Amino acid sequence: MALASTNAPLNAAAAGKLQGKGFFAALRDGFVRYRVFTRTRRELNELSSRELADLGISRSGITRVALEAAYGKDV
């Protein structure tokens, strides 16, 4: 009985991220972005409703603003 492999080979970009510096740089970048997100969300949650209104942010929009700060508008 023949065995067929269905695993596709990694493309060059994906293979590069799995090796050495690329992998750790991506890991560090993800960690830094997550810390920006949590810090932004925490700081906005500490503001009063009036201060948030002055900034044009509602309480329900805090997570969205924090996501945009950390990951950009394409989230």
pLDDT in tens, 38-51: 999 999 999 999 99
Q: Which residues touch 46 (CB under 8 Å, ≥6 apart)?
A: none
Residue 34 near residue 70 (C-beta atoms within 8 A) = yes
Q: According to the model, what pLDDT value does residue 15 have?
A: 56
Mean pLDDT, the chain, whole residue set: 83
| Model pLDDT, residue 74 | 75
> What is the pTM assigned to this prediction?
0.68
pLDDT tops 70 at residue 14:
no
| pLDDT surpasses 60 at 21 | yes
Q: Is the pLDDT of residue 73 over 80?
A: yes
